[in-house]
Amino acid sequence: MFRRFTAAAALLGLLTGAASAQAMPLLRVPAGFSATLYAQGFQRPRLMAVAPNGDVFLSDMRAGKVYIIADRNHDGRADSNVVYASGLDRPHGLAFHGGYLYVAENAQVVRFAYTSGDTHAASAAQKVVDLPKDGEHETRSLAFGPDGRMYVSIGSSCNVCQETDARRASVMVYSADGKNGKLFASGLRNAVGIAFLGNQLYASHNGRDYLGDNTPPESFFRLKAGGFYGWPTCFTVGSRQVNDPQYRRANCTRALPAFATVTAHSAPLGIAFYDGRAFPASYQGQLIGALHGSSIRATRSGYKVIRINPATGQVSDFITGFLRGQTILGRPVGVTVAQDGALLVSDDLNGMVYRVAYRR
């Protein structure tokens, strides 16, 4: 059973030009949950990270900024949108590690020295490592593993091609200082979401375009060192990898299949594992994923937040309402678990962040 929620009427007058009251999604969540407006006024909000003190940091690609959207009075809304750093080139992935905030820009990873409670960058950004620039997929995401190393996902330069730069369509791994870089996993056309559950790295994956409305399915992978995940020659159908029509003679036996798939072109982006204490026990350890939504499919797909059982690959809807019929009302991007156990979801169509909480 699902319930419908929108932000309280008193908040509607606060909406900026990024979204009118009429455009605000009427979000549907399971019984017992609520969905409310947490923050707004962004240009293209993407991924989030929670600081050691619980403050939430948010990247805004179009603005070239990283914001702090903290809720220090614990009323379920960001107190304000504080610019932590600006002048960045399409900032996307964020992560805290070893006293630094790491930011994945389009062509590099930088880091800022961070002290708990900082409200602005106290010093200039320090370059950590250069990355391939631009291309068809311009976002870069990152995560730190239990091994203390930095994992960076880099999308392909094209829809379907043989890359000349081995870092493209991959997840690279580096020391925290950007040294000792090497290829970790390949064959990943655009793995926007990467996250660890224990020692296992997971990734969401955007498959190729222009093979029709239903091919190929979008994928979620368990990554391992040296693993090849198919692109551009193969893609997952069911429990195995099959040949892309442009590469009928390719050997797909070495390509590792996805553990879960969703509708073609639904564009899975940010992922997170629920590790809070505020949701029912059945949500513990579940993969939460944002489906940004299709742009080339005749009948739109995605435009929702799902949950996936990482052990079985079972997929179920969690948050819907971003799509009404064929009308797009919102596009979820990033998901993160706040310190209080609520789930925060960014929407880069409306320039908003939503808060999903469970009412005990």
* 128 alpha-carbon distance from chain centroid: 22
CA-CA distance, 16 to 284, in Å (whole number)?
A: 35
Task: Tell me how many domains the chain contains.
Answer: 1
Q: Give the pLDDT band of residue 16 (cuts 50, 70, 90).
A: very low
Residue 249 has pLDDT above 90, yes or no: yes
CB 268 within 8 A of CB 217: no
Q: What is the structure's pLDDT at 74?
A: 96
The string of DSSP letters for 32-62 reads TEEEEEEEE--SSEEEEEE-TTS-EEEEETT
Place of tokens 């369509």: 169
Residue 8 has pLDDT above 70, yes or no: no
In a domain, residue 302? The reply is no
In a domain, residue 344? The reply is no
In a domain, residue 252? The reply is yes
Q: Which domain holds residue 192?
A: 40-295
In a domain, residue 174? The reply is yes
Q: What is the structure's pLDDT at 25?
A: 82
Q: What is the structure's pLDDT at 360?
A: 72
Give start and end residues of each alpha helix (H) in the chain.
9-12
Using only the alpha carbons of the chain, give its radius of gyration: 19
Mean pLDDT check: name the lowest of 6-10, 123-127, 330-334: 6-10
Tell me the mean pLDDT in the region 86-113.
Answer: 99
Q: Give the pLDDT band of residue 3 (cuts 50, 70, 90).
A: low
Q: What is the structure's pLDDT at 12?
A: 33
In a domain, residue 256? The reply is yes
CA 31, 28, 19 angle in degrees (round to 5)?
A: 145
Mean pLDDT check: name the lowest of 13-22, 132-141, 149-158: 13-22
In a domain, residue 341? The reply is no
pLDDT in tens, 191-209: 999 999 999 999 999 999 9
* 45 alpha-carbon distance from chain centroid: 11
Tell me the mean pLDDT in the region 330-348.
Answer: 99
CA-CA distance, 11 to 264, in Å (whole number)?
A: 36
CA-CA distance, 27 to 295, in Å (whole number)?
A: 21
CA-CA distance, 197 to 175, in Å (whole number)?
A: 20
CA-CA distance, 264 to 117, in Å (whole number)?
A: 42
Give start and end residues of each alpha helix (H) in 102-213.
none
Tell me the mean pLDDT in the region 309-338.
Answer: 98
Residue 332 has pLDDT above 80, yes or no: yes
Mean pLDDT check: name the lowest of 16-30, 65-79, 143-157, 254-268: 16-30
Tell me the mean pLDDT in the region 77-89.
Answer: 98
- What tokens appear for 36 in the block? 């409310």
The structure's pTM equals 0.94
Q: Average pLDDT over the chain, rounded to whole?
A: 94
Q: Give the pLDDT band of residue 4 (cuts 50, 70, 90).
A: low
Q: What is the structure's pLDDT at 59?
A: 99
In a domain, residue 313? The reply is no
Q: Give the pLDDT band of residue 1 (cuts 50, 70, 90).
A: low
Q: What is the structure's pLDDT at 2?
A: 60
Q: For residue 147, give the CATH number of its domain.
A: 2.120.10.30
> Could you tell me the strand order of the sheet in which 332-337 lies?
33-40, 352-358, 343-347, 332-337
pLDDT in tens, 250-305: 999 999 999 999 999 999 999 999 999 999 999 999 999 999 999 999 999 999 99
Residue 13 has pLDDT above 70, yes or no: no
In a domain, residue 360? The reply is no
